[in-house]
Structure 1
Amino acid sequence: MQLKPISQQVVAIVGASSGIGREAALQFAQRGAKVVVAARSQPGLDSLVEEIQRAGGDAIAVVADVADMQQMQAIADKAVERYGRLDTWVHAAATGVLARFEQITPEEFQRVIDVNLMGQVYGAKAALPYLRREGRGALIHISSMEGRRSLPLQSPYCASKHALQGMLESLRVELQHEGIPISVTSVLPSVINTPYYNKVKTKLGVKPTGIPPYYDPRLVVDAILYVAEHPTRDFIVGDVGRVLDVAQRISPPLIDAVLTVVGIPGQHTTEPESEASPDNVFAPIAADQGLDRVDGDFGNLVIPSVSDWFAMRSPFAWGAVAGTVAVGALALLANGMFNNSQQP
């Protein structure tokens, strides 16, 4: 299976107003791709298109809610109407509710499923006919390591990401059976420093956080750019994610025991936040909140990742560095989970 060089691609990016999606749009455009960006935030999309065009790139925006199939279809249709084809679909939109399972209402749970799972389903359905028409292409779905190992306080998010993994596995095999050269990739980031934790709904009484350490969103974008040219089944981003994946396969009860101690306090900061604070679960957050940006608030907790570099260069490299990475990453994970005093 051979994918086009990025410079020759038409790329649709869903969830592009902030975080991973925004940086991905900027990087695709910088490399010469024609870009269609989509999200619910009109101001966020407008500023993104302006930034791309100011740098000499080619981009258009489509305002859309991923939980609506017709609006997802409109993104794909607009890409083909404007540029004549669609080569790559990148789906990064997500939301969440951080609370104990019993505190989350059925409506909130359903909404997270609608956005994080059904939005990805609708996106794939909208893009696939156009990719088939081209005879090749890439579906790139941003999942999460929480699709491999669930965390407490994030039951709807984890449920949606586990279900997404199942959907992609089914779709991938169906396309392979037909001999259709469409790459289906699941990108599984570890904890990433985006505005996600500024936007989700919290019932913790404080601003939520991922369990440190964090990774730079540009690492995820590097992975997206890589799989847009190199057909890849799964791509884990972050050393800790790779170690967690191995540990979960070896002993889920061990991870249960660790998370019983650190999983809940590790997702609390000391910064008070009301349940009534603005969130993006049912509607986008107002532009004046300043959240249409790439980076989140935890830059002081960001660390580098060694294994990503190897993963993009040799399929055997992870085995060669696993021991070193495992020791270092587990130490960092333990230190981060037990020491949140540095967080805002």
Structure 2
Amino acid sequence: MPRPIHSSVIVITGASSGIGRATALEFAKQRATLLLAARRENALREVAQECEQLGATAVAVRTDVTFESDVQALARRAIESFGRLDVWVNNAAVSLFARFENVRMEAFRRVIETNLFGYIHGARAALPYFREQGNGNLINVSSVVGVTGQPYTIPYTISKYAIRGLSDSLRMELYLDHAPDIHVCTVLPGSIDTPIFQHAANYTGRQTKAMTPVYSAREVAEAIAGLVERPQREIVVGQAVYLALLQKTLAPDVFEHMMATQVDKNHFQDYKPAPHTDGNVFEAMEDYTGISGNWLVEDGMTQDIWDMAKEAAQKIGLPMS
């Protein structure tokens, strides 16, 4: 049986903003013991203080997930301070907008190093302790683009596809090892209202934005918290994501053309030209530390869309969040 959240020791990477920050606060409401990791110390301390005000124990640990030594030290900190490690949430990520041929290879590699090798480092740090305890939960935050693909963000998309492969393969190894109480869960959020679009590197000359429909980061946080007490192999967050997955499954050619057009028209603010920027790919940005990037439009979904989403979920066998 998974440990209840209030008695769990939980590591969250990328905890200084967006989904990571929302997840920290969600766990704090249930008085978990938290180790919060990111590159931005000041923002981490702010999150830790907010969590403690909610009744949690929270420790801020500056961590660059591209360095395996940092991540190993983070896991040791959990064991040395609290005697166990129950949940590891791999969430740290950076993004980059550019046409494939225009991406500087240093930036391309850095996205992969952060988004994929950061998760590999996290898994390699957590799993030995999980095996020693006989239980634990590794939660990998991927993305809908890890299933559907997307133009202009190819390094990010590659990393998110690879995270699903990592999760699937780890589950198989754990099955062979007869470790039923060690879980590997994957979260596939849709377009989420976070500052990742302000943080992203951008070499397109066009100002980026979250692609509609946009969902709250708190929805992702609630889904992650739900996986601690009810582990599932994979969960989608965002009703419209089910429609995209169904279209991808039933009509992949049509879907790819539609997705390409939608991204080109809906992921940019063409009335706002943008200078080329490395964003936070190489160095953390001190601003935009909140949960929201102010992209969310509270217009909801029509009942027809919601019904279609539920039907799509049933057909492709994915649980609704």
Shared fold (TM-score, shorter chain, > 0.5)? yes
| Paired residues for 1:168-247 under 5 Å | 168-180=167-179, 181-247=181-247
Relative distance call for 1:300 and 1:321 in structure 2 (3 A) is closer
- Give the residue type in structure 2 aligned to 1:283: E
How far apart are the structure 1 equivalents of 2:266 and 2:297? 16
| Paired residues for 1:109-124 under 5 Å | 109-124=108-123
Q: Confirm whether residue 95 of structure 1 aligns to residue 101 of structure 2.
A: no
How far apart are the structure 2 equivalents of 1:304 and 1:170? 35
Question: What residue is the counterpart of 1:321 in the other structure?
Answer: 310
Question: What residue is the counterpart of 2:275 in the other structure?
Answer: 274
Gaps of 5+ in 1: 311-317, 327-344
Question: What residue is the counterpart of 1:297 in the other structure?
Answer: 294
Q: Could you report, residue by residue, the CA deviation over 1:126-155 in whole angstroms, capped at 9, with x for unpaired residues?
A: 011111122111000100011101111010
Q: Confirm whether residue 65 of structure 1 aligns to residue 54 of structure 2.
A: no
How far apart are the structure 2 equivalents of 1:249 and 1:34? 40
How far apart are the structure 2 equivalents of 1:62 and 1:79? 10
Contact 1:213 1:302 in 2 (8 A): no
Contact 1:212 1:301 in 2 (8 A): no
Q: Could you report, residue by residue, the CA deviation over 1:202-255 in whole angstroms, capped at 9, with x for unpaired residues?
A: 122232123211001111011101101112000000111111111111121011
1:53 offset after TM fit, Å? 1.8
- Give the residue type in structure 2 aligned to 1:210: A
Q: Comparing 25-34 with 200-209, which one deviates more in the overlay?
A: 200-209
How far apart are the structure 2 equivalents of 1:151 and 1:40? 27
Contact 1:197 1:207 in 2 (8 A): no
Structure 1 residue matching 2:22: 3-state secondary structure: helix
Contact 1:207 1:271 in 2 (8 A): yes
Question: What residue is the counterpart of 1:330 in the other structure?
Answer: none
| Paired residues for 1:75-90 under 5 Å | 75-90=74-89
- Give the residue type in structure 2 aligned to 1:275: H
- Structure 1 vs Structure 2: percent identity of aligned residues? 34
Structure 2 residue matching 1:215: 3-state secondary structure: strand
Question: What residue is the counterpart of 2:251 in the other structure?
Answer: 251
Contact 1:17 1:48 in 2 (8 A): yes
Relative distance call for 1:263 and 1:177 in structure 2 (3 A) is same
Q: Comparing 213-222 with 245-254, which one deviates more in the overlay?
A: 245-254
Contact 1:131 1:182 in 2 (8 A): yes
Contact 1:215 1:302 in 2 (8 A): no
1:303 offset after TM fit, Å? 3.5
- How many residues were matched structurally? 311
Relative distance call for 1:187 and 1:324 in structure 2 (3 A) is closer
Structure 2 residue matching 1:121: 3-state secondary structure: helix
How far apart are the structure 2 equivalents of 1:12 and 1:305? 37
1:325 offset after TM fit, Å? 10
Q: Could you report, residue by residue, the CA deviation over 1:271-325 in whole angstroms, capped at 9, with x for unpaired residues?
A: 332113x611011002xx2x1110112122663699xxx9xxxxxxx99931699
Structure 2 residue matching 1:16: 3-state secondary structure: coil
- Give the residue type in structure 2 aligned to 1:173: M
Structure 2 residue matching 1:118: 3-state secondary structure: helix
Contact 1:239 1:305 in 2 (8 A): no
How far apart are the structure 1 equivalents of 2:254 and 2:54? 49
Structure 1 residue matching 2:148: 3-state secondary structure: coil
- Give the residue type in structure 2 aligned to 1:79: A
- Give the residue type in structure 1 aligned to 2:84: R
Relative distance call for 1:304 and 1:196 in structure 2 (3 A) is farther
Contact 2:85 2:130 in 1 (8 A): yes
Gaps of 5+ in 2: 316-321
TM-score (norm 2): 0.92
Contact 1:216 1:302 in 2 (8 A): no
Structure 2 residue matching 1:130: 3-state secondary structure: helix
Give RMSD over aligned pairs.
2.2
1:29 offset after TM fit, Å? 1.6
Structure 2 residue matching 1:24: 3-state secondary structure: helix
- Give the residue type in structure 2 aligned to 1:271: K
Relative distance call for 1:234 and 1:217 in structure 2 (3 A) is same
Question: What residue is the counterpart of 2:156 in the other structure?
Answer: 157
- Give the residue type in structure 1 aligned to 2:310: V
TM-score (norm 1): 0.86
Q: Confirm whether residue 264 of structure 1 aligns to residue 261 of structure 2.
A: no
